[in-house]
Structures are given as structure tokens and as C-alpha cells.
Amino acid sequence: MTLIKSISGIRGTVGGEAGDNLTPSDIVRFTVGYSRWLLRQVSGRRPVVAVGRDARLSGEMVYSLVEGTLMGCGVDVIDLGLCTTPGVEMAVTAKAADGGIIITASHNPRQWNALKLLNARGEFLSDADGREVLRLADAPDFAYPDVDALGCVIERSSFGDEHIDRVLALPLVDAEAVRKRGFRVTVDAVNSVGGIVIPRLLERMGVEVERLNCEPTGDFAHNPEPIAANLSQVMEAVRRNGSDMGIVVDPDVDRLAFVCEDGELFGEEYTLVAVADYVLSATPGDTVSNLSSTRALRDVTERHGGHYAASAVGEVNVVAKMKETGAVIGGEGNGGVIYPALHYGRDALVGVALLLTSLARSGKRMTELRSGYPQYYMAKDKITLRPGMDVAKILSGMKDAYSGERITDTDGVKIDFPEGWVHMRSSNTEPIIRIYSESRDPEEARRLAARFAGEIERLAGAR
């Protein structure tokens, strides 16, 4: 059982012993820490926090504890109920809240949940602010307000329709062109909130929707991470339904993957590439993705005359780099599209709408679109952390061993070779070392990942 505190929030497995897992006492403790941090940001009035959750089985329990604790700390609550991560992010600014909490463990399996913490801009807390929340969660000197100063729920509402309205109002989204194309789409929403908003968005755009795992029961039909190993059901459904494409989202709808009309995967890494290609064709500019993302985005950006920059992994880091460079589109290679014209957050809804518009205006099918991009192949491996493993020492050993190659160490260690690259880093969301590699040859990508997994194990054994 596990409890992880990082830039991606407070994340853990539900149940077990306090302090080592996401238990009721841990949920209260970290919510108090966030409330204390928020009270320092606001003076002269009660802070307001927007709270939403995905549909996972523990969501209602965690939600109740978070809402009650916020009120007990003198914070008012906007109750968004079942809501996507990008929906909560947008609701913070739309409703002039001072912060937000999203109760979701994103792509993690059903036993996990998490508190994702937002600032007044509807963006994830910086590393410094996150560390302060953790410090305040453990600091004893806090006097809770009396009964006359308790917070309250000031609004209970859904943000799904407003989110969809804002997506459809974007100049680069052409619902009429999509409607004329007459698409049929199969949607796999892994029994969470995507099953509510994605079909609704598609129907507003005139798309015929075939639903798969769209009931928001929280009892996930398969492992919720939208990667090839988990998507055989939707791939077969696209073929069986004769769909023009498949759309897959994770439980909180900030990651997006596509299936081509032949039932083969478009490639999660190419979600951002395809959306960026369309955006750059209309609004030339620069792009950003993280160090673990495909080189194809760099190639497409340069083809449009723009500049590409890489950030450390994590949405907050990508957003910071996008603001620094003025990027018009960015995100992460795990299917996370960030389109600043809407908001600075990974958003599957805007990714869907922009991709469908691109297809409708070009007249292409998904396989045609995919074949037009540089062909890179990525392999992903991981090493589960064991007691005594010194990740910093292991990664330092890698830098020493490959000092003659091009090294980037802003987030773990990335080694660029002429034939590809490998990136090794501690996960923000699981107790593992992630190993990503990429090459123009799929076998070479797999060899690179396996080779460095072996080298990590060798260095770990040499402690």
C-alpha cells in the first residue's frame, strides 16, 4: 500500500494504516494543510474552493471528508459533484474561486485515489506551494474556527455543459463541418465521468455515438490507463461497429487516446502531435511537451516554422514552460492536450473537438492522418522501488556511465543517442522508476528500454 506526495497531488491506495496510505485521517490532514495555505492567500474573507471528483468507487467517501474538512477550517465550497479534471480547473476561474480540489487518481487503478490541488488560476500548485501545504499539514499550531465562522456549501452545480459550450465556441472548432462529415464514433470512458461529457460533446457536434463503458459506476471495466495493453475491447468495438474512430479517456478525462477506423491504435503519443499540427496550421507559433514525449512534435512544429521546447514531466512544469515560451499548443505525450486559448490544463474535450474538426476539414480518415506524421516508436518499462533503493544514486551512476552522450538532467536523466533516446525518472504518481525510450525502429526502442532497465537493476544491486 502506498502514499505519494508530489506535484501531482496527494495520491495513495485506499485503506490500510494511516501515514502509509490514503486513509480518512490522511485525507483530513492534507485537506487541513491546503486550507491553511489557502487562508494565507486570502485576507478579510472566507476562501472559496471548487471541488469535483471522478466516479471511482472511493470518490464519495473521499469527497465527503474533503468537503466537511474545508468547512471545518472556515472555507466555503462550490460542490461540482462528478466533474472532469479540466472542468474543475475551468470552474475555479469561471466561478472566481480561490482554489480547487479534484478528487481523482487519474489513470491509476480502482484501489487508488488522490487530491489534486489547484490555485486561483485553476492550475496545479507550484513545487514551492505544494511543499508548504505538506508542511502545514503536519504543523500543530492551528486553531479551528468556532461555529459562527464555519464554511458552508455556497453552490451545488455541474460544470459539464459550460465546459462543452466553451469548447464549441473556440474559433478553431467547427461543429458544422463535423456534422456534415457524419462521423460515427465509439467512446470508451472506463466507467467514469468521461461517459457523461464526451458523448454529450460529440452529440452537440452531430456525431453518432456508440457507447462502451460509459456508465459512471466507478467500477472500471479494465485498467484505466489508456495504453495499448488495456484497449483491446474498444479496438474490437471500432471494427465491429464500423466506426470512423474510437475515443478513449482516462477516469478524470485529462488524457486522450484515439483508435483508427481499422481498429488499430492511433498512438497515444500522437494525440498531441495531430492536434498541434491542426492548431499550428491555423495559428503558427511554438510548442512544448515534456522530456518523455515523442520527437514527432518537434518535427511537426519545425515544419510549421515554429520552435519546440521540452519541460520536466508534470502538467505544472509543461504549463510553466508554455507560458515562458508563449506556446500556442502543448501538453504531454501521454495524450494530454493543453490549449491555452481555452485554459492551461490537459483537456480531452478540447482535444476531441480540435481533432474532429481537423478530420472534417481535411476529408482524411484516421489512418491517412496518422501516416502523414514522422514514424517514431516508443517503448516503456518500469522498475518497482524496493526498500533501500537510492534513486538519486542510481541516476547519478547513469550520468557518469554515459557522460560522453548528450545528457539532460532537469527531470531524472535523459540520454540522447543518434538513433533515439532513453529517459529515466522517478514517477510522480507511483513508487516506480519509469524508463521511456524512442527510436525510428520499434525493436531498437524495446532494446533500449530493456537495456536500461537491466542497467538500473545492476546499479541498484551495487549499493
Residues with a catalytic annotation lie at 106
- All residues at 6 or more sequence positions from 59 whose CB lies less than 8 Å from its CB, including other chains: 53, 103, 104, 113, 218
Residue 417 to residue 16: CA distance in whole angstroms: 44
Provide φ and ψ at 256, rounded to 5°. Answer: -140, 130
Which string of b and e fits 206-241 if b means at least 16 CB within 10 Å? bbebbebbbebebebbbebbbbeebbeebbebbbeb
- CA-based end-to-end distance of the chain: 25
Task: Choose among 379, 385, 378: nearest CA to 433.
Answer: 385
Residue 134 to residue 132: CA distance in whole angstroms: 5
Provide φ and ψ at 255, rounded to 5°. Answer: -120, 145
- All residues at 6 or more sequence positions from 42 whose CB lies less than 8 Å from its CB, including other chains: 98
- All residues at 6 or more sequence positions from 152 whose CB lies less than 8 Å from its CB, including other chains: 71, 76, 77
Quickly tell me which residue has 474498444 as its cell: 234
Task: Choose among 433, 430, 463, 447: nearest CA to 12.
Answer: 430
